[in-house]
Structure 1
Amino acid sequence: MKGKFSKRLNYLLYPRGYAIAINISIIVLLSLLVYIFVYQTGGTKYVYSHSTYLPIIFASVVFGVKGGLLTGIVCGILLGPLMPLDTKTGEAQQAMNWVYRMVIFVVVGTFSGYMANAFRYNTKRIIDYLTHNQETGIPNISVLTKNYLIKEVLDDENTELAFSILINKYENIIEVISRDYYNDLIKQIYNNLREALPQESQIIQSATDKFWVAIKEPNVEENINKVLKTLNVSYYVNKIPLFVTFSIGVCRHRSLYSLLDTFRNADVSARRAQKYNVPYLIFQNEHLESFRNIELLGMFRNALHQEELELFYQPKIALDTCKPVAIETLLRWNHPKQGEIKPLEIIPLIEETELINTLTYWVLKRSLETVSNLAKLDIKMQISINISPKNLLDSNFIDRVIDLVDHYNIDNECIEFEITESALIENLDLCRKLLELIKKYHICLSIDDFGIGYSSLSYLSNLPVDIVKIDRFFINQMTKEKAVRHIVQSTIELVHDLGMKVVAEGVENQEQLEILKAMNCDYAQGYLFAKPMSETDLINWYLEYHKHERIY
């Protein structure tokens, strides 16, 4: 809404093209309407003649002194010799009356036009200061991010291509020729682009070393060649020849994105072109994803050492006793600038690197420390920790686990390792051998997100698994679809026949709980019982829970 209002007001203050014709038509129409109105209300002897100031002031605002002066004369004539003093009697006005009135109209129009011109001039100075680089006089990024009233606002709707042009090693250039001469170079580049590109193309200096160019022509290769040809010329500053190279990123503008987002995508490609020492790159979605992934992994390395990570715990309830018997460890990452970063966004990336072993050890250590703290308060609960197949492949993994167990003096059976079904199936034979090794240490094993990663249940009998966790999707849908309810029922029965226990994830209401009880499900966890919480909140929740002996 703000952008549309700014554009409309822009047309009023800076009319051009058809906007001039429209404003002239409005002035003429207003003048004729006022003339008819005054005539129909009895002539100039009544107060209604003051309505004439409307077209005069409008003309002065739109066209300044000239508009106000000319409209004042026209309206003076319309309400002068062409308008009777009294339309009923046909009495004409005295010449002195209408001439004096026309003089007043001219004075008001001229003065209003002068004030409008002064306002327009000062407004333009302020806006130019805000929207142009003060060292080079080139439009800056504010023309995109602010709704200022400016003539050369970037056209979001008609732009086809966005170029990001980086000046390579600009710091070295500044160091050699000084900042002032560098600004002269920037002006040269801008002027060259301005002259070579189509007139409707728009260029801004978005950073010290960067230009953004919006082009309305959709031909990518043709425009890239034109930009390259324009940039790859000899530059002279103070008669000193300079060798300047550029890295260019190009992105096609889509209506789904703002023009600012399109330029940022072009920036990603320009940086990659700079990195790989190529003249230009055209933006592809994978560039942005790759850049974001690298950024996340870099931030995560710091997060491990700067205490940005935190563990939350969600209780698991035994449905036969309605008491909490275990907790699941959940990772939370609160970045100081980007806020909470979801585990699903970062964990898959970490699993592709050696960071997963560092992270798992960190989670293990903190989790077992929590179990130890709970034990000191006479709270004994099993703790389940998610592990990755890469952890199983780490030859030191088991030894490090046992060292931590011994350090915190914890019973091995208090530990449960969860591994997702999809990760397990990727290398079933190898995982089975490694899980059997873990099982020798009496550590509980469970399959997480059961039902969403593999279509067959037959492999379960060959795995040393104690618990199967049914994915929240099935728990949510079983109250809506009978077919899903039958799947959950059959899964619970089969898992029990194999001598394993069942956990239902994502239980959020009483109806789901009653169905699971009727199916003889062993455990449940979800928002119906408790949301994930910190260690302190968990202790308070547990004590409160037992104090009231809740029954679901």
Structure 2
Amino acid sequence: MPFSMLKNLKVLVVDDDATTRLALRGVLSRQGYQVVEAHNGQQGIEAAQVHRPHLILMDVVMPELDGYSACAQIRLLMGDESLPIIMLTAADDMQSIEMAFNAGATDFITKPINWALLTERVRYALRTGGLNREVRRSRLREAAVRRVAGLGYWEWSLGGDTLAWSEELEPLTGVAAHHLANLEALIEYTHPDDRKRLLSGLERARDTGSKLDLEFRLLAGTDERVLRLIGERGTQGEDANQLFGVFQDLTDSRRAEALVDYLALHDETTGLGNRRLFVRQVRNAMDGFRINSNKVLLVGTIDLSRFGRYNESLGESGADKLLGLVGQRLKDGAGPVGVEVARVGGDEFAVMVLAQDEGGAAQRFQGLLSKLTQPFRVGEHEIFLALSAGYALFPGDVSDAESLLKHAQDAQRQARRTGHQCLRASSDQDMARQQRGQLALERDLHKALERQEFFLLYQPQMDFAAGRIAGAEALIRWRHPTLGVVPPVQFVPLLEETGLIHEVGAWVVQEACRQAAAWERAGLNLRIGVNLSPRQFLSLGLFDTVAHACRSAGASPSLIELEITESLTMQDVEHSTELLQEFRQAGFLIALDDFGIGHSSMEYLLKFPIDVIKIDRAFVSQITTARGDRAIVRAMTVLGQSLGMTVIAEGVENQRPCDFIEAVGVNEVQGYLIGKPMPPQELEALARGYTRPL
């Protein structure tokens, strides 16, 4: 150790012999140490507390208090096990040595002192003491980091299937380590929905040597803790039969993230969603519109005229209370399904309405506006609000969420300028042009079936467990002689309005049954889903139409899956129940389409004979980033499977969402990742040679 470093090290010499102290001072000073002296054991204790030496040389035999007792008290008072204490003794028998170590001595030197040996022992003791102090500090720092980060260590002995956990486990999770002594016990304490994923991850790390890194929920009584488990297999010697890693309690972090997400997406004054959440909801709804959807999406905005005057008359808190009442009245008027409400500006609210047609959507929006014309009471004040509103429609006006909201705001401002309460975001010229186009399209639509311009494409559905194509959804297309292929969103609503849906719908059923029979004869038992429109479903002859088409084609009813929506069944519950029972008894399958965005009533889900539920893509598109969507998909999956239903997730376009969906237990998946809508010959080739994407 360099001299410059030694001069800062302090040595306490405790000896009642002045000659020995003088000699020790001389030798140690020449080595560069600072020397402090004490004449007896009691003075040595006091000097140690005052000077905080780096090393103590302690004589054994002293008046008042011997070295053994003084050493023991110094250890007790200073609480520093890394402080070197070297005993100076004339006795070299084992009993004296044992007494020195029992008192807390680090080392001993016999008298007469060998000075060369003394300097080496002192240097060694100081170096060892410094290392011990650094180790202790490192452990304290490590413990602090682990405590703050919620970290601990674990090991899995593969040979004996035993799990070892660091002492942090119980404080962090509430579960004692002995309760998680092996893999079976760990799985038992894991949330049922996470068990398969955790077991697969551990087995994969064990069998392939891949790194383990996953989150799961540990059950601690009535509480759940979110743990992240990281680990990897050893590579050398006995370590190759061990998995080593760390665990981290993420419960508080995940709860904080959920709170941050909520605050980032909601308005504090009203509790409604804010603009960011509303645009996301509109975007999801637009994305969730099936290519052959026959619904309409309305986005409307409501501006409270001259709201600043209420800040002046009611004060800021009173005006905030009024905004809260407006938000609550809109929320109450929205009902449980089909409408979303948000506050998108200081005195501006937005509404999203999902309906079967434009008239129904506009009617619901007008109903909300009428509720705001009724008086509000804030304290002793009765307040009547003036407002202006506008709305835009999809499909029709624009094709993205932000533009749809902007068009609605433009219409609202136009309504305010012209003195109207509410306007649609289209000029008269635009309306006339749209009407002319619709009339021409309607005229051609009447001839399309006769000219055989309709055709079906089939989008495949993959069964996770079997790893094969299990079925397909039949999707109608129209090849117009001059316009090319017309999107279903443009002509399916016209089929409904003109009543042509009965003839075209019957053709779709016949074609799907014919294709199912052809595949069945070719050795492919592929289930085909056929969408039923509202007019079809409510017609009295639907069962006969479907049954006749199936018999004529020679198809097995079990290969025909009739897809209905929740809102469709709600229009006439009694009729729906009787009709679905009739189809079920005939051997047809029933699928509940767009599950989660309609009524989703447990009562009707139990009442209707449903075989399949299809989770709407609105919940699938954000499943990798939105924890709420993951929870909803998991809940719907558990609900469906507990009722004996097959669960299919729609709109899966990438592998990562597919992995999430498989992890939560969904049975089948449909989307562009598996295959786009394709002609029957392409789907047959895909089904015969299908290999799951890795």
**Structure number with higher relative contact order (C-alpha < 8 Å, ≥ 6 residues apart):** 1
Name whichever structure is richer in strand by fraction: 2
TM-score (norm 2): 0.37
TM-score (norm 1): 0.46
Name whichever structure is richer in helix by fraction: 1
